[in-house]
Amino acid sequence: MNFIDRFMASWRKYRKPGYYEEFDYAWTMTVDLDRCTGCGACVTACQAENNIPIVGEKELGRGREMQWIRIERYWEGEYPNAKLSFIPMLCQQCDAAPCETVCPVSATYHNQDGLNAQIYNRCIGTRSCAVYCPYEVRYFNYYDHHWDAPLEQQLNPDVTVREKGVMEKCTFCVQRIRQAKDHAKDDGRRRVKDGEVQPACVQTCPSEALTFGDRKDANSVVAKKMNDPRAYHVLEETNTLPSVVYLKKVRANAD
């Protein structure tokens, strides 16, 4: 009895309710679709920041393009009255991520910042995470990609270059987050200040449609934006608890 009590106590301590919600940070991105012009600058910035390979025309035609953030376009209606809507789609850093449960080797896992992290060296390439992801934001290295002569000079030294057979995806520029945390520690602060760290896409966005921050800080920009009545999650019904919040586009002639 005594043993069982002690065991249950330590079990409860280990499995405290809401364990997964107790992140050091809860990095969140908001995407204001009213501001987004669909220019694609975020896509380019991401490509440059994260050493994402340019797969080339042939592979693009075969549906193997790699864009950790992409602009999805949807056309409605026929030509004269055609309406275009678009939505930037990136890894939603879900708190209940389907991809994390399925990886047999735990190459993708949830880190203490609430990020859905991917360990390239651990990945064995079953691609099951890409199947389980409802947002289709995981990209597989079908080949070894290389950068021709002068181009390899512009690779970001803070980010690895992935080899063939490995899955990759948006990390919310984890290298920048790590750097910001290091700076904060050097300055003797416990936490990173709001606005101190931005992923490449947020930094680049000319219309400031994207904002990034820690939603645990009630005064941060993202925490305020999340309270906007336009806020929603994409595919909320799948219950993946995404960390990317979209702000709905308001149309003048709502139909």
Partner 1 sequence: MQTEVRQARFADVNDDVVRSLVVTGRNYYIALGIAGFVTLTCFFFPWFYQLYYGIGAAGMNSPTVWGTYLASFIFWIGLSHSGTLLSCVLHLTNSEWRKAMYRSAEAMTFFSLFVAITMVMVHIGRPWFIHWAAPYPNQMGLWPNFRSPLMFDVMAIMTYLTGSGIFIYMGAIPDFAAVRDRTTGWRHHLYVLLSLGWRGTDKEWHRLGWAYTFLAVLIIPLAVSVHSIVSWDFALSIVPGLHQTIFAPYFVVGAIYSGTAGIVTVMFVLRKYMNFEHYITKLHFDNLGKLLLLLSLLWTYINMLELFTGWFSGTSTEYEQLKYKLTGFYAPLYWEMILFCAVAPLLLISRKFRTSFVPMLILSIAINIGMYTERFLIVATTLSRQYLPGSWRVYVPSLVEISILVGSLALFVTLFLLFVKIFPSISIYEIKETMGVPKKHGEHHDT
Residues in contact with partner 1, shown as a per-residue x/- string from 165 to 194 under the rule CB under 8 A: xxx---------------------------
Q: Beginning with the edge strand found earlier in the chain, give each strand of the sheet holding 231-232 in spatial order.
A: 210-214, 27-32, 244-247, 231-232
Residue 62 binds partner 1 (CB under 8 A): yes
Contacts 24+ apart (CB under 8 A), 95-99: 95/20, 95/21, 95/240, 95/241, 95/242, 95/243, 96/239, 96/240, 96/241, 97/133, 97/240, 98/132, 98/133, 98/134, 98/238, 98/240, 99/129, 99/130, 99/132, 99/133, 99/138
Is the sign of the CA dihedral 87, 89, 95, 98 positive or negative?
positive
* 127 is a site residue for partner 1 (CB under 8 A): yes
Residue pair 92/234 in contact (Cβ under 8 Å)? The answer is yes
Task: Using CB under 8 A, pick the residue from 110, 134, 156, 158 that binds partner 1.
Answer: 134
Name which position in 84, 142, 185, 189 contacts partner 1 (CB under 8 A): 142
| Interface segment toward partner 1; rule CB under 8 A; list 21-29, 149-157, 162-170, 243-251 | 162-170
Choosing from 56, 143, 178, 195, the residue that interacts with partner 1 (CB under 8 A) is: 143
* Shortest reach from residue 235's CB to partner 1, in Å: 6
73-112 positions binding partner 1, by CB under 8 A: 73-74, 87, 89, 98, 101-106
Site for partner 1, rule CB under 8 A: 59, 62-65, 72-74, 87, 89, 98, 101-106, 122-128, 130-132, 134-136, 139-144, 164-167, 235, 237-238
